[in-house]
Amino acid sequence: MNNAIRCIPSASVVPSVGRLFSEFFNDPFFAAVVRPTAEIDEGTLAVDISEDEKTVIVRASLPGFNKDDIDVEIHDGVLSIKAERSEETEQKGETFYRRERRYGAVSRRVALPSVVIEGETIADLKDGVLTLRIPKSQKAMPKKVRIG
């Protein structure tokens, strides 16, 4: 006969998986690797963001979308791109087993890396790539400091 006492830890002693993940992702050591540098970064639309001396340049992959399908907004340094399309044509004489190409929607919200002039953005859609050229505000421009 086994007289060993089994000890089952209570729920308060065993950390939950959710708490372990939360602690892992909030650890300062992993902050630069796990979290994006921008405060706002939502959506699945693939974008490239770069800048030169005077302009922030955003390129977004939007194959199959027309300019009328795309909505772009910049507000308080946050860029929002939404694109939605639907195809209403139907082929007569065909029986469809799957209809996956009729509707598509993508979106992305991302904080811009510089202070920009929101109302002077130039947008161009060519070959499925939306290119935005957003001028930087004078506040974001580097200032020369004269010595002496």
Give the tokens for residue 143. Answer: 């200032």
Count other Cβ atoms within 10 Å, centred on residue 63.
8
Strand partners, 72: 81
Q: Which amino acid is at 15?
A: P
Per-domain residue ranges of the chain: 38-140
**pLDDT tens digits for 101-140?**
667 889 999 999 989 998 899 999 999 999 999 999 887 6
Give the tokens for residue 99. Answer: 């209809």
Fold topology of 38-140 = Immunoglobulin-like (2.60.40)
B/e letters for 104-121, b = 16+ CB within 10 Å, e = fewer, are bebebbbebebebebeeb
Percent above pLDDT 90 for the chain? 41
Q: How far apart are CA 3 and CA 31, in angstroms?
A: 49
Residue 125 has a pLDDT of 97
* Span 51-67, average pLDDT: 93
Percent above pLDDT 70 for the chain? 66
- The predicted model scores a pTM of 0.62
Q: How far apart are CA 54 and CA 135, in angstroms?
A: 6
* Span 73-99, average pLDDT: 81
Residue with more model confidence, 18 or 139 = 139
43 contacts 107 by C-beta, under 8 angstroms: yes
Q: How does residue 2 score in pLDDT terms, banded at 50, 70 and 90?
A: low
